[in-house]
Amino acid sequence: MAAELTDDVKKLLEGKNLAHFVTLMKDGSPQVTPVWVDHDGTHVLINTAEGRQKPRNLARDNRVAISIAETENLYNYAQIRGRVVEITQEGAWDHINKLARKYQGADAAYRGPQTETRIIIKVLPEHVSGMQRRR
């Protein structure tokens, strides 16, 4: 069953806050990667490239977890557990450049190899929790 991304969680996802994305290895052990993150109102969006560990793990098991903490107030955080419902190449290069501008500045562009195949991973949240502690 899907869980709603609250306004507080959406603010975290929209901010310049690094997230940690957990997928499951073949033996069931967790594999965690710091990632740039975004959302579309319903799904959490992760951008990566084909051939990396995350897509290989997701081909076997679509269960994931994400944690994100506000850079300026680490006690403001969220954790999200869910399932990947779509992996698409459509719009992935535009999306990674949007994320580069968000995290690196208005004139930034993604500096990785232009030959890689970029993908967007769409995560449907099933459980969302966290803490919003104002300073």
DSSP 89-108: -TTHHHHHHHHHHHHH-TT-
60 lies in some domain = yes
Strand partners, 23: 31
Tell me, yes or no, whether 2 lies in a domain: no
In a domain, 1, yes or no: no
Residue 96 domain-assigned (yes or no): yes
Q: What per-residue confidence (pLDDT) applies to 1?
A: 80
Domain count, the chain: 1
pLDDT tens across the length of the chain (135 residues): 889 999 999 999 999 999 999 999 999 999 999 999 999 999 999 999 999 999 999 999 999 999 999 999 988 999 999 999 999 999 999 999 999 999 988 776 666 667 789 999 999 999 999 877 765
- Give the CA distances from residue 79 to residues 39, 70, 114, 117, in Å, rounded to whole numbers and listed in that order: 14, 12, 32, 28
Q: What are the angstrom distances between the C-alpha of 111 and each of 12, 16, 39, 103? A: 24, 18, 22, 13
The answer as to whether 40 is a domain residue is: yes
CATH of the domain at 89: 2.30.110.10
Q: Cβ distance 29 to 53 under 8 Å? A: no
8 A C-beta contact, residue 45 and residue 95: yes
β-strands 118-131, 73-88 pairing:
antiparallel
Token pair, residue 100, equals 């580069």
Range of the domain at 23: 7-131
